[in-house]
């Protein structure tokens, strides 16, 4: 059994896999980021602020990942179910369908009925999630279309900046809800 002391190899492997080249400047330089904007908007000072905000968010995420790696390395591996308890096959029905371990196992007909109901529930949940994904994808496509209109000058010039900020914030919200 592994000790609770973090191993150098474990920490190094996770860090090199998850954190190497994880900063924003490794992914996209400021110049590349600026070039993503239309030429007439590239000198807007808000672009630099947006890039710095993205850098800070990325750095916070990397710090969180680093702390999680160190915490998991200190905790060590968790024992699997075979090491913990009785026969895995005998407990499967009980664990999956909510019966307490001290209760007798369900008769076969009841177990099949519960499994069928669970399968139907999963199919229903899958359909709901598919619909939600389609709705979110539609929102993202609308936002991208609106941003495309901005790029090619189809939006009214009077409130373009406010619309862009509003649409980008909405896009960020949609993306955060999906993750």
From CA 22, how far away is CA 27, in angstroms rounded? 7
pLDDT, tens digit, for every residue of 113-133? Answer: 888 888 999 999 999 999 999
* Predicted local confidence at residue 72, as pLDDT: 82
HEC string for the chain: CCCCCCCHHHHHHHHHHHHCCCCHHHHCCHHHHHHCCCHHHCCCHHHHHHHHHHHHHHHHHHHHHHHHHHHHHHHCCCCCHHHHCCCHHHHHHHHHHCCCCCCCCCCHHHHHHHHHHHHHHHHHHHHHHHHHHHHHHHHHHHHHHHHHHHHCCCCCCCCHHHHHHHHHHHHHHHHHHHC
Q: What pTM does this model have?
A: 0.39
Across 35-63, b (16+ Cβ under 10 Å) vs e yields eebeeeeeeeeebeeebeeeeeebeeeee
Residue 27 in contact with residue 21, Cβ under 8 Å? yes
pLDDT digits (tens, 9 = 90+) for 130-177: 999 999 999 988 888 877 766 776 655 557 677 778 888 988 888 888
């Amino acid at each position: 059994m592994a000790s609770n002391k973090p191993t150098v190899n474990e920490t190094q492997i996770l860090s090199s896999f998850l954190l190497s080249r994880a900063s924003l400047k490794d992914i996209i330089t400021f110049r590349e980021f600026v070039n993503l904007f239309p030429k007439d908007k590239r000198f807007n000072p808000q672009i630099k602020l947006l890039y710095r905000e993205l850098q800070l968010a990325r750095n916070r995420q990397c710090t969180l990942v680093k702390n999680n790696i160190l915490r998991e390395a200190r905790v060590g591996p968790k024992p699997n179910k075979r090491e913990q308890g009785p026969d895995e096959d005998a407990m499967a029905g009980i664990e999956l369908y909510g019966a307490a371990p001290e209760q007798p196992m369900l008769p076969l007909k009841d177990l099949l009925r519960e499994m069928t109901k669970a399968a139907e529930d999963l199919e229903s949940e899958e359909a709901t999630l598919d619909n939600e994904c389609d709705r979110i994808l539609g929102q993202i496509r609308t936002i991208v279309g609106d941003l495309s209109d901005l790029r090619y000058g189809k939006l009214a010039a009077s409130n373009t900046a406010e619309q862009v900020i509003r649409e980008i914030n909405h896009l960020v919200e949609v993306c955060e809800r999906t993750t």
